[in-house]
Structure 1
Amino acid sequence: MKWLVQEFLNSSANSIRIANALEKCSIDYLLVRVNKDETLSVIDKENKMPLDNSGKVIQEYVLNEPVMVYGSKTFAEIAEDMELEPGSFMNEQFEFDVFRDVLGSELLNQHFVIGELSELEPMADEFFIRPTGNTKLIPGMTVTKEDFLSWKERESKNENSPYIGQSLMISPIQEIEAEYRFFVVNQEIVTGSSYKVGNNIDTTRKPSKDILQYTKKMIDRFPLAKAFVIDVAETKNGLKVVEYNNINTSGLYGCDELAFVRSINDLDFNIGMELKSGPSHFM
């Protein structure tokens, strides 16, 4: 397995950790830049400058080889357009309405409403809002009714609003004691950690045996891809699934990047003998 790792945007600790893990495991990878026009440039690992022949380098690099990508949602979408295998593990099941259909009451935010910003109305004096799918348009957060209505009015006057055509999810606020992230490959948990305890970021709490058993049960109930990330919450109403995420774009927190990298590289893929023929993303 070869890898394409998006360059360290804003000194991203996640990308740096993945690159370091690949080097420790002696796994071949290219550091790439996603340009504004969504073409890719190969970045020299020493001088951090783009190569003039990036297009040729990438074409030869991915030819007849299984290639994994790690970086942003845009990068994962480019990998899908290039028809890399495995490339990105994203599929149409990474949506909250699908989660609810499969999990029912096991989903933390089962009582949600989805719509564009212009369509949604406050469901309480304070409520939770986040994008659907795997977009990072805004982080998940709580908003007050007043702030939401002001935000909605402000964006309605913006002809270039980034929220036009984008689905958002709103749901009642849930009391969460702790949240955990697990990386899953071939329906097995390969690494995991806490990422929030109470209202604080905390990657040090070890998941209990009960949490691991519950998570495995939810993985077996809904194995939506060969590799994915699942977030689980401890609540006063028991354990709940927060969401599933694309493994190509998920933050690591306290998870073991070496275990993640090795598990992906142990996957088997049969690659055809011709160059993939998706849209061109080469410089």
Structure 2
Amino acid sequence: MHWILQENLFKENEWASLTGTLERFGIPFSVHKVVPFVGELVPPAEPKHDKVVCFGSYSMRHTARAQAWTPGVYDLFDKDFKVQLSHWGERMLNFDSRILPFKDVPSLTEPTFLRPVDDSKYFAGKVFMPGDFNDWKHKVVDLGQDHGTSLSGETLVQLCNPKTIYGEYRFWIVNGEIATRSMYKRGDKVMYASDVDERFDRFVHECVQAWQPHRAFVIDVCDTPHGMKIVEINTINAAGFYAGNVQSLVLSLEDLEGAG
């Protein structure tokens, strides 16, 4: 495939691993600036292969769709939390979430986890403190200040009580198999490590056998007092690499698209 890469998005070591792999295997790629939110490429891409894949900000999906690139972006926008819940049920960490429009979220009185129900990137899911959230909601709903994210009072969000998490792990799934994996958090501390306990592999395999949202995607899982749970899924094209094996991921995607 021809790989379209966004400049200055990945960490230095991730960039070196990605471009080094593409160069080593003679895989064509080009580097572009990406206009925020609309995903326009600067300069425009001139693919050297009939298959094109984009890696960078989520907005690149707009250009990929407009250009009818295959695979372009393995977009998960229509596989929102409600869809995930219908397939994975109590395997989901926040299966007990309430889902409602942002404007209808009541004023918080205690720390509460919120995130959009879809992979929209309107805002990052996290535990919000009451004062911070209530001020933010006033700005978005009453004053119309979305700060360029397209977040509105009608945006569907999920909210629930915070959960105790011992560790968080990212798995890159390609064609139903684990291409690579990485720890990215231990407790509240960011920690990248490629050595991941095999029991997480088994859990992820079970989840993937039950349902897959796309041919290639990222699934984040965690360890809790109630066992292993799914945190969320992400579009593989816009997910950080952490301590994952970038070469393994690249070659898995090339194999998936019949170019390996």
TM-score of the superposed pair, with normalisation by structure 2 = 0.88
Inter-partner Cα distance in structure 1 for 2:246 and 2:66: 26
Inter-partner Cα distance in structure 1 for 2:59 and 2:16: 18
Question: For 2:65, what is the secondary structure of its paired residue?
Answer: helix
| Stretch of structure 1 that moved more, 181-190 or 205-214 | 205-214
- Structure 2 unaligned regions, length at least 5: none
State the match for 1:88 in structure 2.
73
State the match for 1:277 in structure 2.
none
State the match for 2:127 in structure 1.
142
Inter-partner Cα distance in structure 2 for 1:81 and 1:112: 35
Inter-partner Cα distance in structure 2 for 1:16 and 1:124: 45
State the match for 1:25 in structure 2.
25
Counterpart residue identity of residue 222, structure 2? A
2:189 is aligned with 1:203:
no
Alpha-carbon offset, residue 209 of structure 1: 1.7
State the match for 2:223 in structure 1.
234
Inter-partner Cα distance in structure 1 for 2:116 and 2:34: 22
Counterpart residue identity of residue 187, structure 2? G
Task: Indicate conservation of the 8 Å contact 1:8/1:16, yes or no.
Answer: no
> Which protein, 1 or 2, shows the higher relative CO under an 8 Å CA cutoff with sep ≥ 6?
1
Q: Please give the residue correspondences for 1:1-283 in structure 2 after superposition, counting only pairs within 5 Å.
A: 1-9=1-9, 14-35=14-35, 38-42=39-43, 54=44, 58=46, 61=47, 65-122=50-107, 125-161=110-146, 162-164=150-152, 165-204=154-193, 206-268=195-257
Inter-partner Cα distance in structure 2 for 1:115 and 1:38: 28
Alpha-carbon offset, residue 254 of structure 1: 0.7
Alpha-carbon offset, residue 10 of structure 1: 8.0
Alpha-carbon offset, residue 114 of structure 1: 2.8
Counterpart residue identity of residue 241, structure 2? L
Alpha-carbon offset, residue 93 of structure 1: 4.4
Counterpart residue identity of residue 29, structure 1? F
Q: Quick one: structure 1 residues 22 and 77, their matched pair in 2 at CA, closer, same or farther if it must change by over 3 Å? A: same
Counterpart residue identity of residue 214, structure 1? F
Task: Indicate conservation of the 8 Å contact 1:2/1:67, yes or no.
Answer: yes
- Listed one character per residue, the Cα deviations across residues 174-228 of structure 1 (whole Å, up to 9, x for unaligned) are 1000010001111000100101001001112622121111111101111121111
TM-score of the superposed pair, with normalisation by structure 1 = 0.81
Question: For 1:27, what is the secondary structure of its paired residue?
Answer: coil
Instruction: Give 4+ residue runs of structure 1 displaced > 4 Å after superposition.
Output: 10-16
Identity %: 26
Question: For 1:110, what is the secondary structure of its paired residue?
Answer: coil
Aligned residues: 254
Alpha-carbon offset, residue 99 of structure 1: 0.9
Tell me the C-alpha RMSD between the 2 structures. Answer: 2.3
Question: For 2:82, what is the secondary structure of its paired residue?
Answer: helix
Alpha-carbon offset, residue 144 of structure 1: 2.4
Inter-partner Cα distance in structure 2 for 1:141 and 1:71: 22
Task: Indicate conservation of the 8 Å contact 2:39/2:62, yes or no.
Answer: no
Task: Indicate conservation of the 8 Å contact 2:221/2:231, yes or no.
Answer: yes
Task: Indicate conservation of the 8 Å contact 2:139/2:145, yes or no.
Answer: no
Q: Quick one: structure 1 residues 210 and 122, their matched pair in 2 at CA, closer, same or farther if it must change by over 3 Å? A: farther
Q: Quick one: structure 1 residues 12 and 96, their matched pair in 2 at CA, closer, same or farther if it must change by over 3 Å? A: farther
Inter-partner Cα distance in structure 1 for 2:68 and 2:173: 22
Alpha-carbon offset, residue 9 of structure 1: 3.8
Q: Quick one: structure 1 residues 230 and 143, their matched pair in 2 at CA, closer, same or farther if it must change by over 3 Å? A: same
